[in-house]
Amino acid sequence: MITVVIPYYQRLPGILGRAIRSVMYQSVELPITLIVVDDDSPIPASVDLQGIRAPDNICIRIIRRSNGGPGAARNTGLQNTPLKTKYLAFLDSDDEWTQHHLESAITALDRGYDFYFSDFYQLEQTVSAFARAGRIDISKHEPLDGEPQLFAYVGSMLNQIIMGNIIGTSTVVYDFQKFSEIRFREDLKSAGEDYLFWIEFAKRGARFVFSTRQEAVYGKGINVYSGAKWGSVDILRRIQNELEYRKSIEKVVSLNQEQQDFIKGKITELRESFLRALLHYMRHTRKIPLSLIWSQIGRDAKTLLLLPRLMAHKTLGFNRSKS
């Protein structure tokens, strides 16, 4: 059995239906349990799925819960996954799979690998994620016999995730029987919770395999990461979550010197980004988001040490005479 977990929160109708149909059109006839976790969505999942008739091999379950973010919604799906599930797949509600995604994943995982992912198209892109990011050299990985698009990942996936992640959530399929206890961090609602989830697999020695074929197309809906726009409170929350994610890495894994230096640089960048976004927000809205400021002090007091230098930076429209 395959279980597919879809966290769902959307304000426009029809988005979830497209994701569901992409599961229904998969080129496999194995039993599929499709769990849609309605995270208190403004458009209820039950409304968006009216008129959709699943084939006999697919059972659709809707679980409604209070809003807790994508990590909490995925955890609810994992907690309700049938015990006899062999493989677990993730699909976000505004994304779609290509027809052979599950078939390709099963082909790879049935050879003894634990964790599968593929190339994909990000929102409104015509160049695939692997090609755009340039973070993976296919020639360094081992092709699977008879499967020209499938490769066993060679090297440290832990280092790959930390230094330049290539895993897209809506392409992931893994061996649920071996890793049924791994969960997402629920406090990181807009960034980093998925990376920490992948890191747990790498820590536990999972064998990774991937496809160079683009097997998912990311769509336009409510995306808590890309939907956070400059000048909004959402971008401040997203940067907070990214900063917490980067700091968490040092607590969950032992880092080499290169990784430590990389993380240190990212933390400094994020501290500066938070302050720039904060000053921009206050200048344009004339509001002071006190709760966010206090929460940032509680999370990372060192952020404020950078404030005097940034306040005087000309690119922000501040100088010493105006301070």
pLDDT digits (tens, 9 = 90+) for 9-60: 998 989 999 999 999 999 998 999 999 999 999 999 999 999 899 999 999 9
* Cα–Cα dist 21/118, whole Å: 20
Residue with tokens 């904060």: 278
- Provide the percentage of residues in the chain whose pLDDT is more than 70: 91
Confidence of residue 118 (pLDDT cuts 50, 70, 90): very high
136 to 117, 153, 277, 281: CA distances (angstroms): 13, 10, 31, 37
Q: Please name the residues in contact with 164: beta carbons below 8 A apart, sequence gap of 6 or more.
A: 133, 135
Contact 118, 213 (CB under 8 A): yes
* Cα–Cα dist 229/236, whole Å: 9
Q: Which two tokens stand for residue 120?
A: 């994909």
User: What was the pLDDT predicted at 285?
Assistant: 79
Phi, psi torsion values for 119, nearest 5 degrees:
-70, 165
Lowest mean pLDDT among 37-46, 138-147, 191-200, 307-316: 307-316
User: What was the pLDDT predicted at 230?
Assistant: 63
User: What was the pLDDT predicted at 323?
Assistant: 31
Contact 19, 98 (CB under 8 A): no
DSSP state of 86: -
- Provide the percentage of residues in the chain whose pLDDT is more than 90: 71
Report which of residues 319 and 156 the model is more confident about: 156
* Cα–Cα dist 14/41, whole Å: 13
DSSP state of 97: E
Report which of residues 50 and 227 the model is more confident about: 50
User: pLDDT at residue 211 above 90?
Assistant: yes
Which of 217, 276, 270 has the alpha carbon at shortest distance from 248? 270
User: What was the pLDDT predicted at 313?
Assistant: 57
Average pLDDT over residues 210-226: 79
219 to 30, 96, 141, 167: CA distances (angstroms): 26, 7, 29, 17
Contact 227, 214 (CB under 8 A): no
pLDDT digits (tens, 9 = 90+) for 266-321: 999 999 888 888 888 888 877 878 888 888 888 888 887 776 665 665 444 433 33
Average pLDDT over residues 235-247: 91
User: What was the pLDDT predicted at 319?
Assistant: 36
DSSP string, 147-166: EEEEEE--S-HHHHHHHH--
Report which of residues 300 and 90 the model is more confident about: 90
Q: Which amino acid is at 175?
A: D
User: What was the pLDDT predicted at 124?
Assistant: 86
Q: Please name the residues in contact with 33: beta carbons below 8 A apart, sequence gap of 6 or more.
A: 1, 2, 3, 4, 58, 59, 61, 81, 82, 85
Q: Which H helix or E strand runs over 120?
A: strand 115-121
Residues forming a β-bridge with 4 = 34, 89
Is pTM beyond 0.85? Reply is: yes
User: What was the pLDDT predicted at 310?
Assistant: 57
User: What was the pLDDT predicted at 311?
Assistant: 61
What does pLDDT average to over the chain?
Answer: 90
User: pLDDT at residue 226 above 60?
Assistant: no
Output the CA angle 110-208-101, nearest 5 degrees: 60
197 to 36, 158, 174, 293: CA distances (angstroms): 20, 11, 12, 28
Average pLDDT over residues 183-189: 92
Average pLDDT over residues 246-257: 92
Q: Collapsing DSSP states into helix, strand and coil, what is residue 205?
A: coil
Number of residues written out for the chain:
323
Confidence of residue 224 (pLDDT cuts 50, 70, 90): very low
Which of 118, 227, 222 has the alpha carbon at shortest distance from 168? 118
Which of 133, 141, 190 has the alpha carbon at shortest distance from 166? 133
